[in-house]
Structure 1
Amino acid sequence: MRTLKVTAGDLVISNGDFAMISDNEELAQSVRMNIEAAKGEWFLDEEYGMDREPFEEKPFNEEAARLALVEAATADERIEAVAEIEMTPDFKTRRLKVRMELTKLNTDETIVLEGVEI
């Protein structure tokens, strides 16, 4: 599948034209966008996005946050499993950086998703 490349919420323009991505880069972007969107945020599909509640609770429930990340990543039917999740909190900015290793469906291929911010 081919789609437009998006960085930090903006379409990327290269050589005067919209940049396109495909294959693993497109899949990683798709999963990233699902994680970064809040569930219910998009009125055309209220199931799109990730449940933010586990990330807003005090005290922080790391297991519930991991479960929400896995659910959002595997919402894309091309992802079979989440092999690894690393979460790095920045308490000063109240942001959480996430790194994930995803296993593609019906393959042993791994996709690394880095720099996702919640």
Structure 2
Amino acid sequence: MTEKAARIDIDDPEVDMDDGHRLLYRGVPFTGEVTEYLSGALVSLDVYAHGVPHGLSQEWYQDGTLRAECVVHRGLPRGESWEWHPDGGPASRRVFDPDGLTLREDDAWDESGRLTRSWRGPAEET
């Protein structure tokens, strides 16, 4: 038998942050899914481990269209991070190194789909 993952709403009065910026639920660093709703619509879902973002992070517009998605490892972004315009077209894409500190690629598109920024960091030494 598998245990259902814990899920809390970020607006729950028992949610708090400690001095180390860890998310607490009932005074304990939280592990599980954290949701946020706006006018009844799910607008964000983040996975936490021991009070720190660690896993998939997603945001939606109120109509349910995906707004942003990335993976976080111990509070730092990993791999590709995407944002979309309300019509579903890409707004930005960023690629982070496995360390989560180094941005390797950064692209942005306007609402008509035109590329407005395309940056590549220095090539990695081999």
Give the TM-score normalised by the residue count of structure 2.
0.28
Higher relative contact order (CA 8 A, sep 6+): 1
Q: Which protein shows a greater Rg?
A: 2
Greater fraction strand: 2
What's the TM-score once normalised by structure 1's chain length? 0.29
Specify which structure has the higher proportion of helix: 1
